[in-house]
Structures are given as structure tokens and as C-alpha cells.
Amino acid sequence: MDDRDRLIISLAAQLRAERETREAFATAIRNGSVSMDVLEAILTDPVPVITREDIIGVQRWLSKHSH
């Protein structure tokens, strides 16, 4: 895996984490459970580690869009 591949994987993981955080926030708002504790938990949620699914997805994308 070269630097470009690692960058793409990192960006994909970051995007996924941001989407999950936004969804958790939207769910909390819809349920009326947005307290200071919930906001703090959402805002301090760590970015998940890169999973095998992330790597496979990026590899598929790369194989379709390379060349």
C-alpha cells in the first residue's frame, strides 16, 4: 500500500466517523434527549479505527477508478 492508498483510507475512515457522529446527533435531537452529557459524548466520540470493510471498500473503488 502506498501513501496515496493510506491517505484515501484515512479520509474514508474520517468521513465515515463524521457521518456516524452526525447521525447520532440527529437521533438525539429527534428523541428530545439532547442534554449537556449527550452533547459532550457526541463531540468527544473518537474516530473509529479503520476496519477491514473500509479497506475492502477503498480497494474496490481504487480498482474501478485506477488508470
pLDDT tens, residue by residue, 12-62: 888 888 888 888 888 888 888 788 887 787 778 776 666 777 778 778 887
DSSP string covering 27-66 = HHHHTT---HHHHHHHHTPPPPPPPHHHHHHHHHHHHHH-
Determine how many CB atoms are found less than 10 A away from the CB of residue 58: 20
How many CA atoms lie within 13 Å of 42's alpha carbon, on the beta-carbon side? 19
Task: Say if CB 18 and CB 42 are below 8 A apart.
Answer: no
The per-residue pLDDT for 47 is 64
Letter for the amino acid at 46? P
Taking the whole predicted model, whether its pTM rises above 0.85 is answered as no
